[in-house]
């Protein structure tokens, strides 16, 4: 017998305030565009297209599925507002054969009670983009939502132009967000915050059940997960683009791939999002923003940390104030790993900063610069090289890696694990998406295959090392809503 979805809907056991029952809108003429066969295996699903497409297009409710739209709030660009799943429907929580619990969500499946004035629909290009980018982040070894399928709905969706409608199936360990806790605390009160906290601990962090102060320990746990996530983003040059609190996951996964992009030339102030006019979510500002988001998270749980409000505030503040030193240590350790250093020593921070400063001053490509140190021979010097201005620094770097245990060989092995050779460069992403939306999926599939093996040089794909110098200067991303 084929393995079907095995739904178990624990989120619906929360108070009804946390969700609204809603069915996805059926698609008039569904057509499968992409199916993630590898993810199908990980989910222990054995279903053919005729079985899958009706469920993942919203035309059929699978056995055990009890669809809902989740309620949440959030600080969007610093401003607090009531939100909720305005164009997504949670079909339920699928249990794999090993008992792993994963949310199955349809994105772009039509209006919900939280849609406000929106149509709840999605268009093909942003759904293809999320599929590509989430898979790229997965193969880079960074926690993320995954994309199971993209299905064209067969209807027209009106944005700036008339576009093809599409639905994406998003898989995630859960869609619990900082914004979910903000909703619970500010629209439900302390009892709802406690209910959500207990649910979160049961589902994600059962080791905290017997904690002396579970609210404080939960903040500490989420802080560590989010610090590690942002460190990983910066390691590979990823710019999320819209780090609102409703896009900050409690489980420490990357999700919501709207105006995201990858860094080309190194500049910490780089922004590609059309709506981030003040640079709030610039590449180099991501650590500050995640700290800010974590402070909002801690605020929702203050009353559960101690009955004495003043003492509770002191406890929460002390916890958030640990962020800077912890993050700085992790940040330097990450760059040390990118440069082949296994243990930070006195003076390392200065020459790490010196290298980043040289990259910025001389406008060098972030990804290629780290790869060039290890594999200069793979580059066409007419397209990329570091140049003589880097020679004094490189001399110091060579002396430094010779001093580590295992010497140069061990250093290069460490660098290979931490520095992608291939990333989803904005030029190739846009080229692939344009072709795919016009019916030619070949460039999309080729790029996806390259990105499945990002840490190893693939001579046959050398063209993907470079993009036109001027492209990123004018490149702008959009949230797709």
Its pTM surpasses 0.85: yes
By annotation, the residues acting in catalysis are 246
- 458-475 residues labelled b (16+ CB within 10 A) or e (exposed): eeebeebbbbeeeebeee
Cα(378)–Cα(175) distance, rounded to whole angstroms? 41
Domain spans of the chain? 10-172, 178-330
Helix (H) or strand (E) holding 230: helix 214-236
Q: Do residues 423 and 236 lie in contact, with contact meaning Cβ atoms separated by under 8 Å?
A: yes
Cα(247)–Cα(240) distance, rounded to whole angstroms? 10
- The Cα-based distances of 399 to 108, 155, 340, 411 in angstroms read 54, 62, 12, 12
Quickly tell me which residue has 């993630």 as its tokens. 36
Check residue 16 and give its pLDDT: 96
Check residue 449 and give its pLDDT: 98
Q: Which residues of the chain have pLDDT under 50?
A: none
């Amino acid at each position: 017998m084929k393995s079907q979805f095995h739904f178990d809907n624990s989120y619906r056991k929360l108070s009804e305030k946390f969700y609204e029952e809603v069915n996805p809108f059926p698609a008039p003429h569904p057509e499968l565009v992409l199916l993630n066969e590898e993810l199908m295996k990980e989910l222990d699903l054995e279903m053919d297209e005729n079985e899958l497409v009706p469920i993942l297009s919203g035309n059929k409710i699978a056995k055990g599925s009890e669809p809902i739209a989740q309620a949440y709030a959030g600080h969007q660009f610093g401003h607090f507002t009531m939100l909720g799943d305005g164009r997504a429907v949670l079909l339920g929580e699928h249990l794999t054969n090993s008992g792993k619990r994963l949310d199955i969500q349809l994105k772009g499946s039509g209006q919900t009670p939280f849609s406000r004035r929106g149509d709840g629909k999605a268009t093909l290009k942003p759904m293809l983009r999320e599929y590509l980018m989430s898979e790229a982040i997965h193969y880079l070894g960074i926690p993320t939502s995954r994309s199971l399928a993209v299905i064209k709905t067969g209807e027209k969706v009106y944005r700036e132009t008339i576009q093809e409608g599409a639905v994406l199936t998003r898989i995630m360990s859960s869609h619990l967000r900082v914004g979910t806790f903000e909703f619970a605390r500010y629209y439900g009160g302390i009892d709802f915050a406690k209910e959500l906290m207990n649910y979160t601990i049961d589902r994600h962090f059962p080791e905290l059940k017997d904690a002396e102060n579970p609210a404080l320990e939960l903040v500490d746990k989420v802080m560590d997960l989010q610090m590690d996530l942002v460190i990983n983003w910066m390691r590979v040059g990823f710019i999320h683009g819209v780090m609102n609190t409703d896009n900050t996951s409690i489980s420490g996964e990357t999700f919501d791939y709207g105006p995201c992009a990858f860094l080309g030339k190194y500049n910490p102030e780089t922004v590609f999002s059309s709506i981030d006019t003040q640079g709030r979510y610039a590449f180099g500002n991501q650590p500050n923003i995640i700290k800010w988001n974590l402070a909002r998270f801690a605020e929702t749980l203050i009353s559960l940390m101690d009955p004495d409000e003043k003492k509770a505030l002191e406890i929460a503040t002390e916890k958030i104030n640990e962020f800077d030193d912890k993050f700085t240590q992790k940040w330097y350790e990450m760059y040390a790993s990118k440069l082949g250093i296994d243990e930070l020593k006195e003076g390392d921070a200065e020459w790490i900063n010196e290298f980043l400063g040289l990259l910025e001053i001389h406008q060098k490509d972030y990804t290629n610069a780290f790869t060039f140190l290890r594999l200069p021979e793979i580059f066409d010097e007419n397209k990329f090289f570091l140049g003589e201005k880097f020679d004094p620094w490189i001399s110091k770097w060579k002396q430094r890696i010779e001093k580590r245990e295992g010497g140069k060989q061990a250093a290069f092995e460490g660098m290979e694990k931490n520095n992608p050779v291939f990333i989803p460069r904005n030029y190739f992403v846009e080229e692939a998406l344009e072709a795919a939306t016009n019916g030619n999926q070949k460039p999309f599939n080729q790029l996806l295959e390259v990105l499945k093996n990002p840490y190893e040089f693939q001579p046959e794909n050398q063209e993907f090392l470079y993009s036109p110098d001027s492209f990123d200067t004018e490149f702008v991303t959009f949230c797709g809503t």
